[in-house]
Chains A and B, each alone.
Chain A
Amino acid sequence: DQQVKQNSPSLSVQEGRISILNCDYTNSMFDYFLWYKKYPAEGPTFLISISSIKDKNEDGRFTVFLNKSAKHLSLHIVPSQPGDSAVYFCAATRGGADGLTFGKGTHLIIQP
């Protein structure tokens, strides 16, 4: 059973527009959520995170929204830039020493 789901394998957005990446989770014990960006042949790079006690966290062009009742989070990138083209992974954890549970990723393509 997949506890973290990213239902869009790919997303194409025009440069300068908003990119919205979605993620759903099923485990109500998750209390911390993260977004990672990954280029081919490189390790994931941490992008932004949010605790379950918040519903929004912003860092520059990146904003993450959390809707706990819907078990849904989204990453907004505004404005989208060519360098944003990458695979984005949503991840969740219960905290403590546990590892992260990842979604399968969304390949974001920014078109000029």
Chain B
Amino acid sequence: DVKVTQSSRYLVKRTGEKVFLECVQDMDHENMFWYRQDPGLGLRLIYFSYDVKMKEKGDIPEGYSVSREKKERFSLILESASTNQTSMYLCASRSFWADTQYFGPGTRLTVL
């Protein structure tokens, strides 16, 4: 079974703080993704990576950055958290040879 884990299920941060969200997958997948889910908006792609040290902007990258130093780990960074970044953050991974993405349990981030 594919296992995607995220470092925290719930996180509360203050405006202006630097926030790190970590994601680890154990299936040796090449591609990894970060989405956010907001009520009435579905899931929106923030950033993705198709290989170590590679990154691509998704649909809503503003205010975020990412890091992929190892194949199994993909980090999402909020350089200076703002209240409009309060959301559910979902990490996913996928083999390069398949289209199905597998998701982690999500991190509910609240920025006060």
- Could you tell me which A residues sit within 8 Å of B by CB distance? 6, 9, 32, 34, 36, 41-46, 49, 89, 91, 93, 95, 97-105
Contact = CB atoms under 8 A, between A and B. Distances in A.
Given A97-B56, A99-B35, A104-B42, 18 more contacts: A9-B40, A32-B99, A41-B9, A44-B90, A46-B100, A46-B102, A49-B99, A89-B43, A97-B48, A97-B96, A98-B48, A99-B33, A99-B45, A99-B101, A102-B42, A102-B43, A102-B44, A104-B40
Interface band, chain B: 20 to 34
A34 B105 contact: no
- Interface of A, secondary structure class, is loop
21 contacts: A32-B99, A34-B100, A34-B101, A41-B106, A43-B4, A43-B103, A43-B104, A43-B105, A44-B43, A44-B103, A45-B103, A46-B100, A89-B43, A97-B30, A99-B45, A99-B58, A100-B43, A100-B101, A102-B43, A103-B42, A104-B41
Contacts of B31: 97
B77 to A, nearest CB: 18
Given A89-B42, A97-B31, A102-B43, A42 B101 contact: no
B50 A97 contact: yes
B60 to A, nearest CB: 11
A89 B41 CA distance: 11
A95 B31 CA distance: 12
Contacts of A103: 42
A61 to B, nearest CB: 19
A95 B39 CA distance: 27
B108 A41 contact: yes
Nearest to B54: A97
